[in-house]
Structure 1
Amino acid sequence: MSLLEKSSYWDSFYSARKKGAPAYPSQFAAFVINELSEVDGVIEFGCGNGRDSEFFAANGFELLALDASTEAIALCRSRSAHACARYVHSTAGNARDAIEGFLEGKRKVAVYARFFLHAIDEVEAAALLDLLGLLLPAGSLVFFEYRTVNDADQDKTFGTDHYRRYLEHASALASIERAGFRIVYQIEGHGLAKFRDEDAKVGRCVAQKN
């Protein structure tokens, strides 16, 4: 699936499901919020409808939220109630200027990406990790949650008609480390991203910039 096809799918998804997609924060966001006491801001990749972005902003964190879907960003902007949240239409590969602007004056930030690494291809993911390794201040944190290869055959609440790249958990962790990060927490399992009748097998990790 091409980048244009991916964007078109998500534009249609967020246009059609403005009321159907969950608006409350995810389990992953509830986990991450406890780890953010010393950061100066949060950058979210693949913010979708803003369910987690708004949660972070509501708790006082300056936020840069990015998504490649124009419909998703329009939806977030229409719903946002927080002046500290900025929503930007951008792919991860074109986000360098926005990230550099957000980082000005900040000593330590957090990067948050839930169900994003498996939504981009291997080349895009490697480029993103390299960019984060280059730009983030030392001590910054990254939080990733993604579907693993053991989830491939499970039923999906939102179907299988869009791009998913199921990750091998150990390989994903190794890629993050190669980009200049130290894994400080990791787990793979069920019960971490349950939604309705679906209990995805996911990998979750926290890593710190060296």
Structure 2
Amino acid sequence: MDSSVSYREHPSYWNDFYQRGHAAAPRLPSQFAAFALGEMLTPDSPMGQIDGVIEFGCGNGRDSQLFAAHGLSVLGLDESIEAIGLCRVAGLPAHARFECCAARQAREAVEVFAEQHSRVAVYARFFLHAISEEDEHSLLALLQATLPEGAPLFLEYRTTADADQHKIFGESHYRRYLDHRATLARIAAAGFATVYEIEGRGFAKYREEDALVGRCIAIRNASLA
């Protein structure tokens, strides 16, 4: 796949990946999911205790499974119908729901889910770098318009220094390597105040690959909208 072409123009790529090669995809929850869960369930956290999680780019549901196993309601969204199919047959509890939906088309689903829960978090791991700049803008605008004040956003993404590193899954994945500081600035411009951020290695190690990633937690702040 041409790395300059967005996922939107190749919707069959991830369907093929999960249909044919899903056995190779990790099944255990990511380190970032465990980190985010700890923050979500901390009683005295400044974001409050979360009761619902919206995951964008949920893939095979491995991180959504962790959230659901700890009692959180989950809405998992992915544009790949094959990925959503894997999630739906995974035997998850009724409080985990999955929809085949592009992020730019998820406004109604996000609004309904947010209305049904007292404190909602948005989670997206390795999703921001897998969509185009245009789709990132649409996603941040959607979250700015739909999330209530105080809602946290958990993001992890590959950064520019990771571009030349060997990848387990090769170069066929679309990856838009992000400048960490510029990404934080765009998140802030969308009305989110960053309360935690870091860039480095050791956060997303998979077999012999140790990706250089950026992480952040940002809180929806009405005064910054």
Moved runs in structure 1, 4+ residues, more than 6 A?
A: none
8 Å contact from structure 2 (residues 60, 83) kept in 1: yes
In 2, the alpha carbon distance for the partners of 1:124 and 1:43 equals: 17
8 Å contact from structure 1 (residues 23, 51) kept in 2: yes
TM normalised by structure 2 equals: 0.91
| Equivalent position to 1:23, from 11, 14, 27 | 27
| 1:84-109 alpha-carbon deviations (Å, 9 max, x no partner) | 10000000001111111111143321
Per-residue deviation, 1:79: 0.9
In 1, the alpha carbon distance for the partners of 2:6 and 2:161 equals: 25
In 2, the alpha carbon distance for the partners of 1:103 and 1:129 equals: 16
Structure 2 unmatched runs, 5+: 42-48
* Counterparts of residues 14-163 of structure 1 (less than 5 Å): 14-37=18-41, 38-163=49-174
Q: Does 1:11 align with 2:15?
A: yes
| 1:151-176 alpha-carbon deviations (Å, 9 max, x no partner) | 00000000101211000000000010
Percent identity of equivalent pairs: 56
In 1, the alpha carbon distance for the partners of 2:92 and 2:50 equals: 21
| Equivalent position to 1:192, from 185, 194, 203 | 203
In 2, the alpha carbon distance for the partners of 1:67 and 1:150 equals: 27
3-state SS of the aligned residue for 1:19?
Answer: helix
| Equivalent position to 2:183, from 166, 169, 172 | 172
Per-residue deviation, 1:178: 0.5
Per-residue deviation, 1:12: 0.6
3-state SS of the aligned residue for 2:23?
Answer: coil
| 1:101-136 alpha-carbon deviations (Å, 9 max, x no partner) | 111143321100000000001111011011101110
Per-residue deviation, 1:20: 1.8
The one-letter code matched in structure 1 to 2:22 is: K
In 1, the alpha carbon distance for the partners of 2:70 and 2:107 equals: 26
8 Å contact from structure 2 (residues 7, 130) kept in 1: no
8 Å contact from structure 2 (residues 28, 62) kept in 1: yes
The one-letter code matched in structure 2 to 1:64 is: L
Structure 1 unmatched runs, 5+: none
User: Aligned Cα RMSD in Å?
Assistant: 1.1
In 1, the alpha carbon distance for the partners of 2:113 and 2:106 equals: 11
Number of residue pairs aligned between Structure 1 and Structure 2: 210
